[in-house]
Amino acid sequence: MEKSKFVGIIWVAVTIVLFGLTGCAATHPPAPAVVTQASDFYYIIGPGDSLDIQVWRNPEVSKTLPVRPDGKISTPLVEDLTAANKTPSQLARDIEKALAKFIQDPIVTVIVTGFSGPYEHQVRVIGQAAKPQALQYREKMTLMDVMIAVGGITDFAAGNKASIVRIVDGKQQQFGVRLESLIRDGDISANVGILPGDVLIIPESFF
């Protein structure tokens, strides 16, 4: 068999497989328009966050610092204190307990000034987005918010075959979403709720 014909057959076979994989996204059930989540949403600190730690009447131990990749922080007088997976208020109380050994009745305020959040709370966008990236989840976040953050989809995206991978009751589920209808047709009914940890997959269109 001629080399060119062999290469042509291989390309056709690969294209068929890829088309089949892309088409599978259309078989997923549609994502629910409204998602249920805890009404008392609190921001959780994660690695990479920037924290402004203020100790009342003790500026010498007040500091702005990042949360290390191991989820811990080191402040004056307090070393290797776990910050990740805590709310700012919880962390402030922990710092007060640690500082109580050196300062009488310390009052600590923790303000998050740079947001990354825990990895499991981030929303990840992969595939044919203009700027694929991991986003920090925000309360009441929607698919439209995600699309604005990543700059929309590319010209090669199969927008209406996109899907969201989500953990529901401890099990992974996949839901179809219609990005092209939302972005290019202005169909607001295609705008659905996003949850922490969602992964948005935008496949490429081959035809």
CATH of the domain at 142: 3.10.560.10
Instruction: Report how many domains make up the chain.
Output: 2
**Is residue 42 assigned to a domain?**
no
* Domain boundary residue, one of 68, 84, 114: 114
Q: Are residues 82 and 154 in the same domain?
A: no
Same domain, 130 and 198: yes
CATH label of the domain that carries residue 74: 3.30.1950.10
Domain identity same for 81 and 103: yes
Percent of the chain with pLDDT over 90: 75
Task: Summarize pLDDT for 2-57 with one digit per residue, the tens.
Answer: 444 443 434 334 333 444 444 444 579 999 988 876 556 789 999 999 999 999 99
186 and 126 within one domain: yes
Q: Is pLDDT at 1 greater than 80 in this prediction?
A: no
Comparison of pLDDT for 122 and 22, the residue scoring more: 122
Secondary structure (DSSP) of 106-160 = --EEEEEEE----GGGEEEEEESBSS-EEEE--TT-BHHHHHHHHT-B-TTB-GG
pLDDT the model gives residue 11: 39
CA 5 to chain centre: 45
pLDDT at 37: 67
pTM across the whole model:
0.76
Across residues 142-151, what is the average pLDDT?
98
Are 69 and 130 part of one and the same domain? no
Mean pLDDT of 128-148: 96
Q: In terms of domains, do 190 and 129 share one?
A: yes
Residue 147 lies inside a defined structural domain of this protein: yes
Give the closest residue to 111 by CA, choosing from 92, 137, 135, 136. Answer: 92
Residues 158 and 132 in one domain: yes
Is the residue at 20 inside a domain?
no
Asked whether residue 16 is domain-assigned, the answer is no
Instruction: List the structure tokens of 50.
Output: 């920037």
- Provide the domain limits for residue 141: 29-37+119-202
Do residue 127 and residue 33 come from a single domain?
yes
In a domain, 3, yes or no: no
Mean pLDDT, residues 76-88 taken together: 95
In this structure, the answer to whether residues 98 and 151 fall within a common structural domain is no
Final residue in a domain of this structure, among 114, 129, 148: 114
CA 18 centroid distance within chain: 27
Is 24 contained in some domain?
no
Cα atoms found within 13 Å of the Cα of residue 188, Cβ hemisphere only: 0
Task: Please check the confidence at residue 153 and state whether its pLDDT lies above 80.
Answer: yes
Q: Does residue 7 lie within any of the structural domains? A: no
Regarding whether 196 and 123 lie in a shared domain, the answer is: yes
71 in the same domain as 125: no
Place of tokens 């921001």: 43
pLDDT at 97: 97
The answer to whether residue 160 is domain-embedded is: yes
Verify that 99 and 189 share a domain, yes or no. no
Specify whether the CB–CB gap between 44 and 139 falls below 8 A.
no
